[in-house]
């Protein structure tokens, strides 16, 4: 049975600039994301993907409509709902291990326990050899893996990722996609992943939420009915690619 995790109804966000100019960033968003689901938000720049995900993680507040998580409105950021940013958000003065421990310690976990959990998580993402390096000593792909490890170590019930692999080369990106899927299959966290890469969305998501701009809205939701791991060269995959590309014409 599917349990709704995030429910949006008539959700709207309007930004007002200092000069009083309004931007209707998103409007009329009706959407249910179920617990344990992996969804991708896809759409052109400016269609409100970031705005939508920021409201879901409590950094921005809706100006109309309703947004419920676990049946309740979102008053602000929640330590059980984690956002991974494109620029990783790592502390340069902490080691890889120290960065992963930080997430756990800030949730009140005892130091010794945090160390064990952090080491286990680094093992899961193959980062043990880099545990004692600092962020500037490792590649950008590894930095993003540290950010993912730090987020998943705390076993959040919700994971938000806003174009997390945007600055990462194509090869590393494929590996990270596989890794995030593997972790999701183990942890069954609900994942809301923003990308403007259609292939990435088809590779990852159970449902792709296509957004359109001016004003930002949901244009169409496509179920991706493929088993994991997905073969990007398979005819069914390329058929989804065709379907999604056509939406943008």
Q: Give the binding site for Mg ion (CB under 5 A).
A: 49-50
Burial grade of 218 (CB within 10 A; 0-12, 13-18, 19 or more): buried
Q: Least distance from C-beta 14 to ligand ADP, angstroms?
A: 9
Nearest to 27 by CA among 5, 6, 58, 55: 55
Question: 46 CB contacts (<8 Å, ≥6 apart)?
Answer: 213, 214, 216
Which residues make Cβ contacts (< 8 Å) with residue 92, sequence separation at least 6? 134, 135, 136
Distance of closest approach, residue 215 Cβ to ligand ADP, in angstroms: 8
- 74 vs 127, beta carbon nearer ligand ADP: 74
Q: Are strands 4-16 and 64-69 parallel, antiparallel or unpaired?
A: antiparallel
Contact residues for ligand ADP, defined by CB under 6 A:
15, 17, 23, 25, 43, 45-51, 216
Q: Which does 156 bind (CB under 5 to 8 A by kind): ligand ADP, Mg ion, none?
A: none
DSSP-based three-state secondary structure for 121: helix
Residue 103 interacts with which of Mg ion, ligand ADP, none, CB < 5 to 8 Å by class: none
Do residues 220 and 54 make contact, with C-beta atoms less than 8 angstroms apart?
no
Least Å from the CB of residue 117 to Mg ion:
31
Q: How far is the CB of 168 from ligand ADP (least distance, A)?
A: 18
Q: Of ligand ADP, Mg ion, none, which one does residue 25 interact with (CB within 5 to 8 Å by kind)?
A: ligand ADP
Query: Which C-beta is closer to ligand ADP: that of 6 or that of 100?
Result: 6
């Amino acid at each position: 049975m599917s349990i709704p995790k995030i429910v949006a109804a008539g959700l709207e966000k309007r930004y007002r600039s200092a000069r009083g100019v309004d931007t209707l960033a998103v409007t009329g968003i009706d959407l249910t994301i179920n617990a344990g689901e992996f969804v991708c938000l896809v759409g052109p720049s400016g269609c409100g993907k970031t705005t939508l995900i920021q409201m879901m993680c409590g950094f921005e507040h809706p100006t109309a409509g309703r947004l419920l998580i676990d049946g309740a409105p979102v008053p602000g950021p929640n330590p059980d709902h984690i956002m991974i940013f494109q620029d990783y958000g790592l502390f340069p003065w902490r080691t890889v291990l120290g960065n992963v421990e930080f997430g756990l310690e800030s949730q009140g976990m005892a130091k010794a326990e945090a160390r064990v959990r952090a080491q286990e998580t680094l093992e899961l993402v193959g980062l043990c050899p880099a545990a004692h390096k600092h962020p500037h000593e490792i590649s950008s792909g590894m930095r993003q893996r540290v950010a993912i490890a730090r987020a998943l170590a705390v076993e959040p019930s919700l994971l938000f990722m806003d174009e997390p692999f945007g600055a990462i080369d194509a090869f590393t990106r494929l590996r990270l996609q596989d890794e995030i899927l593997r972790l999701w299959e183990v942890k069954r966290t609900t994942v809301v992943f923003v990308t403007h890469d259609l292939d990435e969305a088809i590779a990852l998501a159970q449902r792709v939420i296509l957004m359109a701009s001016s004003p930002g809205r949901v244009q169409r939701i496509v179920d991706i009915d493929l088993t994991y791991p997905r073969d990007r060269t398979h005819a069914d995959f390329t058929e989804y690619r065709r379907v999604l590309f056509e939406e943008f014409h």
